[in-house]
């Protein structure tokens, strides 16, 4: 590898200086002269008919210029948002997606739903004006939990969604599973919940929309994860043609899937800017974010795993209830599609069957969150495997080894039709066992016991699909200018992932030029490139691979041009380290000199399938039986994300993902009052956030098996940490408290919950 890129492959993210010195430009930093400000009046109840909205007092407030309501949303025709459950369900069922006018019309269905948009000449006036909007409601009974929502007699949210059941789906072979269950020598059963969480990126949502009547175009300065998906969805919601929707964004402070979609607020702002003739800006508060940014996970899964007398897995059945909140959103598809793709986990399980029921409830809509179903499936499969190990008395590492898909079986077609490309699971396990000193555990457990602590160890071995996207293809443009600078254009958008570093590194590597010579421009305002947004850990497999192809195309086209210059045939030219050279005379022409004659522009494209990163994580915890407080005392992660482009960034991605998973395990949970539907966790005073001290050290190792899906050999890594950490940390805590007779606890494993279980167990045994 070239010296410079070698240097960068171990760190030095080029975007960091800007981002950590306050020089980033986030959505709320965009302003234009003469802009107005929007503030949303939001439902303060979970379920009610809107009897009337009286804006007269608000309109009389100094500075307020307009108030828009559900009537305006209906008039504009901004009524039906796109959703992603577009594949056929059980018996060909089509998802029942109710209307969702961009401002609520006649009915509100969750606390926080936008009812009116007040526009004023200052943010303060808009907020004060909003206080004066009088909404008369007729309260309706609400339902905020998924299983009660499906029960007979439950309050009904939408006339066109009978029984609150928006979708039903199934996968696998139910008969084969039932037949295998009938012969099994052991069946493990566990019902688990992957809790509803609030993704909470650092940067709150914000959006400035400017309407240009001359061009009939809208320009958005908005938080996003890539322009193409947002544009498609906004167009679907509003019927405004895609080429009339422009976007300009520079930095995004975290996304985690939550910044992908076309939120109704953005469409309501379109109504406001068009009607007022002025740009309109809205900045979301943190509380509003908790109420209206899509939530994540939120699955209840009843799982059964059948084993034979040797501990071989025979069959697995999973019955899911996947609550999507009050309306279907784009993004929620992953809860079904990804969980089917990864259903067999890393194991050979000959028969699989899953059923899905998707209820709607009086809660904030749910969409994808880091992993989008992959952590959920890994969680239930790994919990079942650990539970089975316990029940059969087989060592959990050994039980895994007995059931792993062997290296020789790859590419492996799973019973639910996915094709896992490549993995070395036994190798991964061996490395993780050695790294964590699995053998020495009992000594450490005894030591903890002496100190009055309950020690537990957990293991997870997981695999997930990453890479494939919805876009027809990923396109990259590379321009070479007369200064020799290579500029790479992409429509993916980093939200903290370091793409300015890694995409540049890929191109610089291929061109053998210093890293600093390559600049990355994401989502240029007039770009017409196609491609996937950043999500599904696909940017490196997709955009990254095309960067590689584009750089090689640049070399080939450059050779042709250099040959013309030197009156030679392209075959007589070779390329290396930024220079085209005649093979015979050694005469050369540098990239910059070539561009001085004629700037070069290259367009490359590619379409890539899924890659399957996998990992083995082993964690140890100490639980204090007096307080229920858990401390993570050891965390080892061995991961295979194929060829690594930048080791420091990959390590950072894994750390971030692991801690995000730990947040869900130990505290994060969105809670609603079951009677009133009021959210009880709509601020950081009530909603737990993991802090640095939660996980002090991760010992990590790479175990790459290069992918052939990508010419770079890469697999995605952005979500892997979450997928591995949730099952392993829960397993470790359960292992610690199992000697007290506790077999199962649902997340979050807060001190109160753990202590309560310990207390309960000790009462029962005494």
**Hey, which residues between 414 and 433 contact ligand MCN (CB under 6 A)?**
none
The yes or no reply on residue 537 touching ligand MCN (CB under 6 A) is yes
Grouping H, G, I as helix, E, B as strand and the rest as coil, residue 231 is: helix
**Of residues 89, 204, 325, 496, which one binds ligand MCN by CB under 6 A?**
496
Residue 440, helix vs strand vs coil: helix
Q: Which of residues 339-398 bind ligand MCN (CB under 6 A)?
A: 370
Question: At its nearest, how many Å lie between ligand MCN and the CB of residue 368?
Answer: 7
When asked if residue 224 is in the footprint of ligand MCN (CB under 6 A), the reply is no
By CB under 6 A, tell whether 331 contacts ligand MCN. no
**Residue closer to ligand MCN (CB basis): 538 or 703:** 538
Compute the least distance from the CB of residue 509 to ligand MCN, in Å. 11
> Which of the stretches 113-121, 413-421, 520-528, 648-656 binds ligand MCN when contact is defined by CB under 6 A?
648-656
129 near ligand MCN, judged by CB under 6 A: no
Nearer to ligand MCN, 313 or 608 (CB): 608
| Identity of the residue, 312 or 655, whose beta carbon is nearer to ligand MCN in the bound complex | 655
Cβ atoms of 372 and 334 within 8 Å: the answer is yes
Residue 403 or 653 having the CB closest to ligand MCN? 653
Question: Whose Cβ is closer to ligand MCN: residue 257's or residue 724's?
Answer: 257
Q: Given the rule CB under 6 A, which of 66-74, 314-322, 389-397, 532-540 is the region that contacts ligand MCN?
A: 532-540
Q: Give 466's DSSP letter.
A: B
357 closest CA partner among 158, 196, 164: 164
User: Virtual CA dihedral for 675, 676, 678, 680, nearest 10 degrees?
Assistant: -40
Q: What is the distance between the alpha carbons of residues 368 and 533, in angstroms, rounded to a whole number?
A: 13
Task: Determine, following the binding rule CB under 6 A, whether residue 522 of this chain makes contact with ligand MCN.
Answer: no
> Which lies closer to ligand MCN via its Cβ, residue 382 or residue 640?
640
Which pair of tokens denotes residue 239?
Answer: 């019927």
Report if residue 642 touches ligand MCN, rule: CB under 6 A. Answer: yes
Residue 296 as a binder of ligand MCN (CB under 6 A): the answer is: no
Binding ligand MCN by CB under 6 A: which of 502, 630, 669, 725? 502
Residue corresponding to tokens 């194929």 = 642
- Interface pick for ligand MCN out of 279, 536, 628, 748 (rule CB under 6 A): 536
* Contact between 223 and ligand MCN per CB under 6 A: no
Is-contact 579 589, C-beta < 8 A? yes
Closest separation in Å from C-beta 723 to ligand MCN:
11
Instruction: Report how far apart, in Å, the C-alpha atoms of 361 and of each of 99, 279, 290, 471 are.
Output: 15, 35, 16, 31
Residue of this chain nearest to ligand MCN (CB atom): 718
Residues in binding contact with ligand MCN, number by CB under 6 A = 36
Least distance from ligand MCN to the Cβ atom of residue 506, Å: 8
426 vs 397: CA distance, rounded Å:
10
Instruction: Rank residues 409 and 689 by Cβ distance to ligand MCN and give the closer one.
Output: 689
Q: Which is nearer to ligand MCN, 130 or 541 (CB)?
A: 541
Rounded Cα distance between 412 and 420, Å, is: 5
Strands 280-283 and 36-42: parallel
Residue 539 is a binding residue for ligand MCN (CB under 6 A): yes
- Nearest CA to 657 out of 676, 635, 673 is that of 635
Stretch that binds ligand MCN, among 158-166, 173-181, 250-258, 397-405 (CB under 6 A): 250-258
- Least Cα distance to 142 among 48, 2, 55 occurs for 48
Residue closer to ligand MCN (CB basis): 201 or 456: 201
- CA atoms of 486 and 490, how far apart (whole Å): 13
The span of 90-98, 248-256, 358-366, 512-520 binding ligand MCN (CB under 6 A) equals 248-256
Say if strands 64-69 and 114-120 run parallel, antiparallel, or are unpaired: antiparallel
- Tell me which residue of 166, 536, 200 sits closest to 368, measured CA to CA: 536
Token pair belonging to 602: 């290259």
- The minimum distance between CB 646 and ligand MCN, in angstroms, equals 4
Binding mask 699-718 for ligand MCN (x = CB under 6 A): ---------------xxxxx
Q: How many CA atoms lie within 13 A of 65 on its CB side?
A: 18
Stretch binding ligand MCN (CB under 6 A), from 207-215, 324-332, 348-356, 539-547: 539-547
254 lies in the site for ligand MCN, by CB under 6 A:
yes
Of 40-48, 268-276, 649-657, 737-745, which segment contacts ligand MCN by CB under 6 A?
A: 649-657
Q: Which residue in 102, 719, 723, 747 binds ligand MCN (CB under 6 A)?
A: 719
Laid out side by side, the sheet with 107-108 consists of 107-108, 48-54, 134-139
Burial tier of 609 (Cβ tally within 10 Å: 0-12, 13-18, 19+): middle
Q: What is the DSSP letter of 374?
A: H
- Considering the complex, state which of residue 506 and residue 670 has its C-beta at the smaller distance from ligand MCN: 506
Helices (H), 585-718: 591-597, 647-666
Instruction: State how beta strands 245-247 and 280-283 pair.
Output: unpaired
Residue 656 touching ligand MCN (CB under 6 A): yes
The least distance separating ligand MCN from the CB of residue 289, rounded to whole angstroms, comes to 14
Tell which one of 645, 726, 731, 734 touches ligand MCN (CB under 6 A): 645
Distances, alpha carbon 291 to alpha carbons 114, 264, 370, 486, in Å: 10, 13, 19, 43
- Among 43-51, 268-276, 345-353, 640-648, which window interacts with ligand MCN (CB under 6 A)? 640-648
Single out the residue of 294, 298, 416, 540 in contact with ligand MCN (rule: CB under 6 A). 540
Q: Which stretch binds ligand MCN (CB under 6 A): 109-117, 152-160, 429-437, 635-643?
A: 635-643
Which of 2, 335, 337, 499 touches ligand MCN (CB under 6 A)? 499
| Minimum distance, C-beta of residue 468 to ligand MCN, in the bound complex (Å) | 12
Q: Which residue has the tokens 């309260």?
A: 139
As measured in angstroms, the least distance from the Cβ of 369 to ligand MCN is 7
Under 8 Å between Cβ of 540 and 550: no
Q: Does residue 289 interact with ligand MCN by CB under 6 A?
A: no
Q: Answer yes or no: are the C-beta atoms of 279 and 228 closer than 8 Å.
A: no
Question: First-to-last CA distance in the chain?
Answer: 66
Is 649 a binder of ligand MCN (CB under 6 A)? yes
Q: Where are the alpha helices (DSSP H) in 334-454?
A: 334-341, 374-392, 396-403, 425-436, 441-450
> E strands of 258-385, at which residues?
280-283, 296-307, 313-322, 351-359
- Select from 164, 653, 669, 723 the one that contacts ligand MCN (CB under 6 A): 653
Select from 80-88, 137-145, 283-291, 533-541 the region that touches ligand MCN (CB under 6 A). Answer: 533-541
CA-based torsion, 480, 500, 256, 704: positive or negative: positive
- If phi > 0 it is left, if psi is from -120 to 50 it is alpha, else beta; for residue 254 that is left
How would DSSP label each residue in 55-74? -HHHHHSTTEEEEEEHHHHH
Radius of gyration of the chain (CA): 27
CB of 637 to ligand MCN, least distance (A): 15
Window contacting ligand MCN (CB under 6 A); options: 50-58, 63-71, 207-215, 496-504: 496-504
User: Which listed residue (233, 527, 534, 669) binds ligand MCN by CB under 6 A?
Assistant: 534
Pairing of strands 134-139, 48-54: antiparallel
Q: How far apart are CA 204 and CA 131, in angstroms?
A: 22
Binding site for ligand MCN (CB under 6 A): 201, 254-257, 370, 495-499, 502, 534-540, 544, 641-646, 649-650, 653, 656, 714-719
């Amino acid at each position: 590898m070239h010296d410079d890129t070698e240097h960068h492959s171990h760190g030095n993210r080029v975007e960091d200086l800007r981002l950590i010195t306050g020089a980033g430009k986030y959505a709320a930093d965009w302003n234009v002269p003469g802009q107005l400000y929007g503030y949303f009046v939001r439902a303060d109840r979970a379920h009610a008919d809107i009897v009337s909205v009286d804006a007269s007092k608000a309109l009389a407030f100094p500075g307020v210029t307009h108030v828009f309501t559900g009537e305006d949303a209906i008039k504009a025709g901004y009524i039906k948002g796109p959703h992603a459950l577009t594949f056929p369900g059980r018996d060909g069922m089509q998802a029942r997606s109710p209307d969702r006018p961009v401002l609520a019309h006649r009915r509100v269905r969750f606390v926080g739903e936008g009812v009116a948009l007040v526009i004023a000449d200052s943010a303060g006036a808009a907020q004060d004006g909003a206080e004066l909007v009088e909404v008369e409601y007729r309260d309706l009974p609400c339902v905020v939990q998924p299983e009660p929502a499906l029960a007979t007699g439950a309050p009904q949210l939408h006339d066109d969604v009978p029984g609150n059941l928006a979708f039903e789906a199934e996968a696998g072979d139910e008969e084969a599973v039932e037949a295998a269950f009938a012969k099994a020598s052991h069946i493990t059963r566990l019902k688990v919940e992957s809790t509803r969480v609030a993704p909470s990126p650092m940067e709150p949502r914000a959006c400035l929309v400017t309407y240009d009547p001359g061009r009939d175009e809208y320009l958005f300065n908005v938080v996003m994860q890539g322009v193409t998906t947002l544009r498609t969805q906004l167009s679907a919601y509003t019927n405004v043609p895609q080429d009339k929707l422009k976007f300009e964004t520079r930095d995004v402070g975290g996304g985690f899937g939550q910044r992908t979609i076309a939120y109704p607020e953005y469409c309501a702002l379109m109504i406001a800017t068009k009607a007022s003739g002025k740009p309109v800006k809205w900045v979301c508060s943190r509380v509003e974010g908790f109420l209206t940014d899509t939530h994540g996970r939120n699955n209840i899964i009843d799982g059964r795993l059948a084993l034979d007398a040797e501990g071989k897995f025979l069959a697995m059945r999973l019955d899911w209830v996947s609550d999507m909140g009050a309306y279907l959103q784009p993004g929620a598809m992953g809860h079904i599609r990804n969980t089917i793709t990864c259903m067999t986990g890393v194991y050979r399980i000959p028969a699989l069957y899953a059923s899905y029921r998707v209820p709607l409830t009086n809660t904030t809509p749910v969409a994808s969150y880091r992993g989008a179903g992959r952590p959920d499936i890994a969680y239930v499969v790994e919990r079942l495997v650990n539970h089975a190990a316990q029940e059969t008395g087989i060592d959990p590492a050994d039980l895994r080894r007995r059931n792993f898909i062997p290296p020789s079986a790859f590419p492996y077609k799973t019973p639910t039709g996915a094709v896992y490309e490549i993995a070395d699971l036994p190798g991964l396990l061996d490395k993780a066992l050695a790294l964590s000193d699995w053998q020495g555990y009992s000594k450490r457990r005894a030591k903890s016991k002496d100190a009055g602590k309950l020690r537990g160890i957990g293991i997870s071995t997981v695999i997930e699909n990453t890479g494939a996207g919805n876009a027809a293809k990923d396109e990259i443009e590379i321009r070479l200018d007369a200064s020799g600078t290579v500029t790479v254009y992409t429509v993916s958008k980093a939200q903290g992932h370091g793409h300015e570093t890694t995409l540049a590194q890929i191109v610089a590597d291929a061109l053998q030029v210093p890293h600093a010579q390559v600049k990355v421009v994401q989502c240029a305002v007039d770009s017409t490139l196609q491609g996937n947004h950043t999500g599904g850990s696909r940017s490196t497999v997709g955009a990254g691979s095309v960067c590689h192809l584009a750089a090689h195309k640049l070399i080939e086209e450059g050779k042709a041009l250099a040959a013309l210059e030197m009156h030679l045939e392209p075959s007589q030219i070779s390329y290396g380290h930024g220079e085209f050279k005649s093979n015979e005379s050694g005469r050369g022409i540098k990239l910059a000199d070539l561009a001085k004659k004629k700037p070069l522009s290259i367009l490359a494209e590619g379409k890539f399938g899924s890659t399957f990163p996998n990992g083995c994580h082993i964690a140890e915890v100490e639980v204090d039986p007096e307080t229920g407080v858990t401390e993570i005392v050891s965390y080892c992660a061995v991961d295979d994300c194929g060829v690594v482009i930048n080791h420091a960034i990959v390590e950072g991605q894994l750390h971030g993902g692991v801690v995000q998973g730990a947040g869900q395990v130990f505290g994060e949970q969105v809670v609603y009052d079951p009677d009133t539907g009021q959210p009880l966790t709509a601020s950081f005073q009530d909603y737990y956030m993991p802090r640095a001290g939660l996980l002090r050290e991760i010992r990590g190792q790479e175990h790459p098996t290069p992918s052939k899906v990508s010419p770079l050999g890469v697999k995605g890594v952005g979500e892997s940490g979450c997928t591995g950490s949730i099952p392993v940390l829960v397993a470790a805590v359960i292992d610690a408290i199992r000697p007290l007779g506790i077999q199962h606890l649902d997340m979050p494993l807060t001190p109160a919950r753990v202590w309560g279980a310990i207390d309960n167990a000790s009462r029962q045994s005494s």
